[in-house]
């Protein structure tokens, strides 16, 4: 049996699960630091992923509650990709990754944790960031707290 110590998860486990869509609700709260929102565009925003694959894992999210690229209007699509580019440049400046994974999981079977609200993932990568832990222990080690990463990146979005 594998045991992983992750005391920060208890807050998530114990909290009352919100009704509605987190990707719609968080930007309406106007608590950007608390919610990990780094940047707001006209049609899309950038939000930290609270369950990252790597430090600096960002999501670019349209304000519109849609589940498919076909439903996103052309202005929002253009801005989404402009903001993805902005996120990549900010991550390059602040964290100096060697590469990136950028993509979308469209549908639950494709791996979407939130499948009814379209969003793109921007994941910085470094040589050696995938060590032996996922292979022998089926565990991914994230070496930086999300709040610390937020502080590191926030200056790049001013």
From 57, 65, 119, 121, active-site residue: 119
DSSP characters over 13-69: HHSPPPSS-HHHHHHHTT-HHHHTEEEE-SSEEEEE-SS-SSTT-EEEEESS--SSG
Could you give the 3-state DSSP secondary structure of residue 103? strand
**Catalytic residue check, 117:** no
Residues 6+ apart with CB under 8 A from 43: 62, 63, 64, 73, 75, 76, 79, 80
For tokens 């390059």, the residue is 92
Q: How far apart are CA 76 and CA 130, in angstroms?
A: 34
Residues 6+ apart with CB under 8 A from 31: none
* Joined tokens for residue 157: 């979005």
Active site residues: 119
């Amino acid at each position: 049996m594998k045991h992983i110590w992750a005391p920060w998860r208890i807050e998530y486990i114990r909290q009352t699960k919100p009704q509605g869509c987190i990707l719609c609700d968080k930007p309406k709260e106007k608590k950007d630091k608390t919610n990990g929102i780094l940047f707001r565009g006209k049609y899309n925003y950038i939000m930290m992923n609270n369950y990252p694959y790597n430090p600096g894992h960002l999501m670019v999210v349209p304000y519109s509650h849609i589940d498919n690229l076909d439903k996103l209007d052309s202005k929002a699509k253009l801005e989404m990709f402009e903001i993805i580019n902005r996120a990549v440049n900010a991550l390059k400046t602040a964290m100096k990754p060697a590469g990136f994974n950028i993509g979308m999981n469209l549908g639950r079977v494709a791996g979407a944790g939130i499948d009814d609200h379209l969003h793109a993932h921007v994941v910085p990568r470094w040589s050696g960031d995938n060590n032996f832990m996922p292979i022998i222990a089926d565990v991914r080690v994230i070496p930086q707290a999300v709040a610390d990463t937020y502080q590191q990146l926030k200056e790049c979005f001013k």
